[in-house]
Chain A
């Protein structure tokens, strides 16, 4: 057992403490951070903070209630300036003192239409504030919670029959969660799969196999390599998640939308539980390929094939969303490589019974154990065949053990 941990440690440290790895680890969050900053500055500097003017003939805004102060830096509160006449407002607009002005005509409360006058169309934020400002004053005196409800309109809450799942219209972003989880899964699994492939091929290229195999069992070696390299991938995941968490915490203070995000922890936990065996499966298959191939380039090409089933649920994203219990969806969630992404997608759109989820999970774990065994075997057979490829049938043949 100690030897197993030594292998895990060796595989882990030889990647994690390298400059190359640390660079790769930090580059993704840094690139994202840079992108966010660019977007942030772009919208900050392009958003027009010039006040808005209005001319009220109707009397709705006679004693206007101002909108509350905003903490949202992308949606700062714009000053609303009343004008006595349209001429004065027009002059102010020409003088760039205001970005636009709106008029509440005398008969405003007949058809509630509001002309908006501008040279350059005001941004969404300005238009929103105008309509919130008018709403707020129209409802002056009503109880505040009604006001918010009426202002925002209907919000459907969809609930599954068993009551386990709820879906609210304004929580549309939940649809993105399985996609984001799936993407992270793919990136991490491919990265650690790549490391693993490299590790096994290096063993072959360095010809250390005979030494290693007379020290530990092939199963120990393979399991150690797989867990070690997966831990490298998980380190990436944890570091990236930490950055994500940090981004949300900081972002939440400035952007109310982020602060209000509600993502089910149960859902995330279930997705992650599916990821782990799938992770081991892909890694073990990579290792098996590494053991049977002789050149890293060749092996890398073959391993690229694994990306296809992992990505497949995305190609079928539409049928999966429209019909999450259809035959394509069911098939993809039982096929070990596509299961984590497919099942995460299905779980987001339909309640999956607990027994079905558990069955899937057991199936994935069993398959993961099988692939580790297969990788150990491939290693045992392939290890001494320098410069020789081994075939798939050789892996399963009974007498293969003798070679």
Chain B
């Protein structure tokens, strides 16, 4: 069962090919990362999924078929372009937007009360939206995306303008939603958040999918044969099985030869009586993978 199935969608705006043959699917109970540098086509892809734009080619199936007015009630959306009615009290703004999601007045009121409490916004409910800080408006926007208990949540850069406390709260909230079986698509370029939250991801660059899979898969694929070592002794300049040794922060980074394994190097280190404080297989961060992939494509294209 998939919640969203994107099949080979393309979209061109004048001279710019914004999206070029993107396909992926998202399942219930997962947080799916839609990543990419600025201008990669993430937002356009999301707008096509939500039927704001029609694709030039390809198709999207959402909650088992085409987008319909009824399905709109089951979708929570935090757009990249944040927007709330500025000139009215916060609670009126939230209520109106909740009613547009098909909630009854009573449902809307209780849902809004719960979330205002949770987001610490209760005492600002009578204030005009424009009087709230950026972070507060961001939280209010999240309330709008979540209040109607949607089956499908699409959030674009959810952590923008949030402080660490609120960031953590939103992360908890998203994990909670996932555990309830909701489908979540998260669009971001903050890789550390993706590492902590996303189950699977696609990386889009220049309108094309350049990387896809589970976080673990991707890491393995990009795992280099490197180890990080911190030691009280000085490590000899040459070492069996090691191609090069470079200082790396307060560690040494040992770049292994093709046939060497971390296991064999560790064995040698112990045998050499080198006092180890730390021994770590260097896993590339998503950030590094991101930069590597995007730069490689950039080079290829140039």
Spell out A's residues near B (CB within 8 Å): 2-3, 6-7, 10, 14, 202, 206-217, 384, 386, 401-403
Find out whether the CB atom of B87 lies under 8 angstroms from the CB atom of A202: yes
* Cα(A206)–Cα(B81), bound, Å: 10
Interface residues of B in 53-91 (CB under 8 A from A): 53-54, 56, 69, 72-73, 75, 77, 79, 81-88
Stretch touching chain A among B25-33, B94-102, B224-232: B94-102
**Is B210's beta carbon under 8 Å from chain A?**
no
**Is B144's beta carbon under 8 Å from chain A?**
yes
- Looking at the assembled complex, report how far the CB atom of A153 sits from the nearest CB atom of chain B, in whole angstroms: 62
Find out whether the CB atom of B88 lies under 8 angstroms from the CB atom of A210: no
Interface residues of B in 97-143 (CB under 8 A from A): 97, 99-102
Find out whether the CB atom of A212 lies under 8 angstroms from the CB atom of B100: yes
Set of chain A residues within 8 Å of B101, measured between Cβ atoms: 215
* Cα(A214)–Cα(B51), bound, Å: 8
- Looking at the assembled complex, report how far the CB atom of B3 sits from the nearest CB atom of chain A, in whole angstroms: 15
CB-CB nearest in chain A for B156: A210
CB-CB nearest in chain A for B67: A214
Contact A210/B77 with A215-B72, A403-B53 known, Cβ cut-off 8 Å: yes
Set of chain A residues within 8 Å of B96, measured between Cβ atoms: 6, 10
Q: Across chains A and B, which 3 residue pairs bring their CB atoms closest together, nearest first?
A: A207-B83, A215-B100, A210-B79
Find out whether the CB atom of B100 lies under 8 angstroms from the CB atom of A216: yes
Find out whether the CB atom of A210 lies under 8 angstroms from the CB atom of B83: yes
**Contacts A210-B77, A210-B83 supplied; 18 other A-B pairs, CB < 8 Å:** A2-B102, A202-B85, A206-B84, A206-B85, A206-B86, A210-B47, A210-B79, A210-B81, A211-B79, A211-B97, A214-B50, A214-B52, A214-B77, A215-B97, A216-B72, A217-B69, A386-B81, A402-B56
* Cα(A14)–Cα(B87), bound, Å: 10
* Cα(A10)–Cα(B100), bound, Å: 11
Q: Mark B28-47, 1 if CB is under 8 A from A, else 0.
A: 00000000000000000001
Find out whether the CB atom of B52 lies under 8 angstroms from the CB atom of A213: yes
Set of chain A residues within 8 Å of B54, measured between Cβ atoms: 401-402
* Cα(A402)–Cα(B58), bound, Å: 13
Set of chain B residues within 8 Å of A202, measured between Cβ atoms: 85, 87
Find out whether the CB atom of B83 lies under 8 angstroms from the CB atom of A3: no
- Looking at the assembled complex, report how far the CB atom of A318 sits from the nearest CB atom of chain B, in whole angstroms: 46
Contact A209/B53 with A14-B88, A216-B69 known, Cβ cut-off 8 Å: no
Is chain B's binding surface mostly helix, strand, loop or mixed?
Answer: loop
Find out whether the CB atom of B56 lies under 8 angstroms from the CB atom of A214: no
Spell out B's residues near A (CB within 8 Å): 13, 47, 50, 52-54, 56, 69, 72-73, 75, 77, 79, 81-88, 96-97, 99-102, 144
CB-CB nearest in chain B for A403: B53
Contact A207/B72 with A3-B102, A213-B52, A214-B50 known, Cβ cut-off 8 Å: no
- Looking at the assembled complex, report how far the CB atom of B11 sits from the nearest CB atom of chain A, in whole angstroms: 8
Set of chain A residues within 8 Å of B85, measured between Cβ atoms: 202, 206, 208
CB-CB nearest in chain B for A216: B100
* Cα(A213)–Cα(B97), bound, Å: 11
Set of chain B residues within 8 Å of A207, measured between Cβ atoms: 79, 81-83
* Cα(A256)–Cα(B73), bound, Å: 62
- Looking at the assembled complex, report how far the CB atom of B226 sits from the nearest CB atom of chain A, in whole angstroms: 44
Find out whether the CB atom of B84 lies under 8 angstroms from the CB atom of A208: yes
Find out whether the CB atom of B100 lies under 8 angstroms from the CB atom of A6: yes
- The residue among A14, A210, A384 with the most chain B CB atoms within 10 A of its own CB is A210
Among B47, B53, B87, B99, the residue within 8 A (CB) of A6 is B99
CB-CB nearest in chain A for B77: A214
CB-CB nearest in chain A for B73: A215
Set of chain B residues within 8 Å of A216, measured between Cβ atoms: 69, 72, 100
Find out whether the CB atom of B52 lies under 8 angstroms from the CB atom of A210: yes
Find out whether the CB atom of B88 lies under 8 angstroms from the CB atom of A384: no
* Cα(A209)–Cα(B88), bound, Å: 16
Set of chain B residues within 8 Å of A10, measured between Cβ atoms: 96
Find out whether the CB atom of B100 lies under 8 angstroms from the CB atom of A384: no
Set of chain A residues within 8 Å of B99, measured between Cβ atoms: 2-3, 6
Instruction: List, sorted by A's number, 17 A–B pairs whose CB atoms are closer than 8 Å.
Output: A2-B99, A6-B99, A202-B85, A206-B83, A208-B83, A210-B52, A210-B81, A211-B83, A211-B144, A212-B97, A213-B52, A214-B52, A214-B77, A216-B100, A384-B53, A402-B54, A402-B56
CB-CB nearest in chain A for B130: A206
Find out whether the CB atom of A384 lies under 8 angstroms from the CB atom of B47: yes
* Cα(A6)–Cα(B77), bound, Å: 20
* Cα(A351)–Cα(B145), bound, Å: 59
Set of chain B residues within 8 Å of A402, measured between Cβ atoms: 53-54, 56
Among A206, A211, A401, the residue within 8 A (CB) of B77 is A211
Among B13, B75, B84, B86, the residue within 8 A (CB) of A214 is B75
Set of chain B residues within 8 Å of A384, measured between Cβ atoms: 47, 52-53
CB-CB nearest in chain B for A13: B92
CB-CB nearest in chain B for A210: B79
* Cα(A167)–Cα(B144), bound, Å: 62
* Cα(A10)–Cα(B102), bound, Å: 15
CB-CB nearest in chain A for B100: A215
- Looking at the assembled complex, report how far the CB atom of A348 sits from the nearest CB atom of chain B, in whole angstroms: 43
- Looking at the assembled complex, report how far the CB atom of A14 sits from the nearest CB atom of chain B, in whole angstroms: 7
Set of chain B residues within 8 Å of A212, measured between Cβ atoms: 97, 100
* Cα(A195)–Cα(B229), bound, Å: 69
* Cα(A344)–Cα(B102), bound, Å: 43
- Looking at the assembled complex, report how far the CB atom of A249 sits from the nearest CB atom of chain B, in whole angstroms: 39
CB-CB nearest in chain A for B145: A211
- Looking at the assembled complex, report how far the CB atom of B84 sits from the nearest CB atom of chain A, in whole angstroms: 7
Set of chain B residues within 8 Å of A2, measured between Cβ atoms: 99, 102
- Looking at the assembled complex, report how far the CB atom of A200 sits from the nearest CB atom of chain B, in whole angstroms: 13
* Cα(A217)–Cα(B69), bound, Å: 7
* Cα(A209)–Cα(B102), bound, Å: 17
Set of chain A residues within 8 Å of B72, measured between Cβ atoms: 214-216
* Cα(A217)–Cα(B50), bound, Å: 12
- Looking at the assembled complex, report how far the CB atom of B12 sits from the nearest CB atom of chain A, in whole angstroms: 10
* Cα(A216)–Cα(B51), bound, Å: 12
Set of chain B residues within 8 Å of A206, measured between Cβ atoms: 83-86
CB-CB nearest in chain A for B76: A214
CB-CB nearest in chain A for B14: A403
* Cα(A6)–Cα(B101), bound, Å: 11
- Looking at the assembled complex, report how far the CB atom of A223 sits from the nearest CB atom of chain B, in whole angstroms: 14
